[in-house]
């Protein structure tokens, strides 16, 4: 099975029942063959409609990352047994292909940038989660005025571009958990450090998320989880 040979980079971000990993896209040597081994029928149809080569590679890589995690968790034996679907807000979730198709069985989130794809999986189907990956780059210094808000806390004690990448990733992860877009993330999300091991990420309309963020190989990767789901357990 292809997914058993995929090298994932597990990240120390998840709470109980939540896992986050990275996949180096250089591993996708034969993308069409990989798609045939990993994607469900509906997903293969969506993959075939993607015309831009880079977009196809990133889209596929995020799904390979997620499904490789699920196979290793023994959630499915074959990655084609589950399909990634989207709700009315554009948030992805997992359904088993042969057991009541359309029933949510796992919460998930996907992201990609540069050389990496990223995926997060939650055993709670009703747990709102979001993951995001952002490259550490000097360009963030130039655009900081567009996304740093009053109340934001620049994270950590590293160089400014690292701290800005972490802040951006947390805001994007929050927007994905909320089912909103980049404009929402930059305009209505505030992030601050907490007394524990993470960050409080909140929106102007009062929704709160628990955030965690790490730096790995020149990228910031963030996870946001709805506060009602923090520490919760559940069977897949």
User: pLDDT tens digits for 53-78?
Assistant: 999 999 999 999 999 999 998 888 99
Structural domain count of the chain: 2
Q: What pTM did the predictor assign?
A: 0.87
pLDDT at 38 over 90: yes
Q: Are residues 112 and 137 in the same domain?
A: no
pLDDT at 26 over 50: yes
Q: Are residues 93 and 179 in the same domain?
A: no
| pLDDT value at residue 14 | 73
Long-range contacts of 76-84 (CB under 8 A, 24+ apart): 78/1, 79/1, 79/2, 79/3, 79/37, 79/38, 79/39, 80/37, 80/38, 80/39, 80/40, 81/40, 82/40, 82/106, 83/40, 83/42, 83/43, 84/43, 84/108, 84/110
136 — pLDDT class (breaks 50, 70, 90): very high
- Chain centre to alpha carbon of residue 156: 21
- The answer to whether the beta carbons of residues 21 and 62 sit under 8 Å apart is no
pLDDT at 4 over 90: no
Q: Which of 79, 96, 123 lies at the terminal end of a domain, its last residue?
A: 123
Question: Which percentage of the chain shows pLDDT scores above 90?
Answer: 49
pLDDT per position as a tens digit, 74-86: 888 999 999 998 8
Q: Are residues 102 and 153 in the same domain?
A: no
**What is the average pLDDT across 83-110?**
78
| pLDDT value at residue 214 | 92
**Residue range(s) defining the domain that contains residue 215:** 130-227
Q: Which of 123, 152, 182 lies at the terminal end of a domain, its last residue?
A: 123
Which residue, among 201, 180, 186, 113, has the nearest Cα to 144 in the 3D structure? 186
Does 2 reside within a domain? no
Q: Could you give the CA distance from residue 227 to residue 206 in angstroms, rounded to a whole number?
A: 12
232 — pLDDT class (breaks 50, 70, 90): very low
Q: Are residues 167 and 108 in the same domain?
A: no
Q: Are residues 155 and 176 in the same domain?
A: yes
Helix axes 41-49, 53-72, angle to 10 degrees: 160
Q: Are residues 91 and 50 in the same domain?
A: yes
236 — pLDDT class (breaks 50, 70, 90): very low
Helix (H) or strand (E) holding 45: helix 41-49
**What is the average pLDDT across 207-232?**
83
């Amino acid at each position: 099975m292809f997914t058993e040979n995929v090298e994932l980079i597990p990240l120390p971000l998840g709470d109980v029942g939540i896992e986050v990993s990275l996949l180096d896209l250089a591993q996708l040597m034969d993308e069409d063959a990989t798609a045939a081994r990993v994607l469900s029928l509906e997903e293969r149809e969506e993959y075939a409609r993607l015309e831009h080569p880079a977009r196809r590679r990133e889209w596929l890589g995020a799904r390979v990352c997620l499904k490789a995690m699920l196979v290793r968790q023994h959630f499915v034996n074959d990655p084609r047994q589950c399909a990634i679907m989207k709700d009315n807000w554009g948030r992805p979730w997992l359904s088993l292909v042969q057991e009541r198709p359309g029933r949510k069985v796992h919460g998930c989130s996907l992201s990609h940038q540069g050389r990496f794809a990223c995926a997060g999986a939650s055993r709670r189907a009703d747990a709102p989660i979001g993951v995001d990956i952002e490259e550490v780059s000097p360009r963030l210094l130039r655009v900081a005025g567009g996304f740093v808000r009053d109340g934001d806390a620049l994270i950590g004690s590293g160089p400014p571009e690292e701290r800005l990448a972490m802040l951006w990733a947390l805001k994007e992860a929050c927007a994905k958990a909320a089912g909103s877009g980049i404009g929402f993330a930059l305009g209505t999300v505030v992030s601050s450090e907490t007394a524990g091991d993470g960050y409080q990420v909140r929106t102007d309309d009062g929704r709160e998320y628990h955030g965690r963020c790490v730096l790995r190989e020149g990228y910031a990767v963030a996870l946001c989880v709805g506060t009602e789901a923090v520490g919760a357990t559940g069977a897949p």
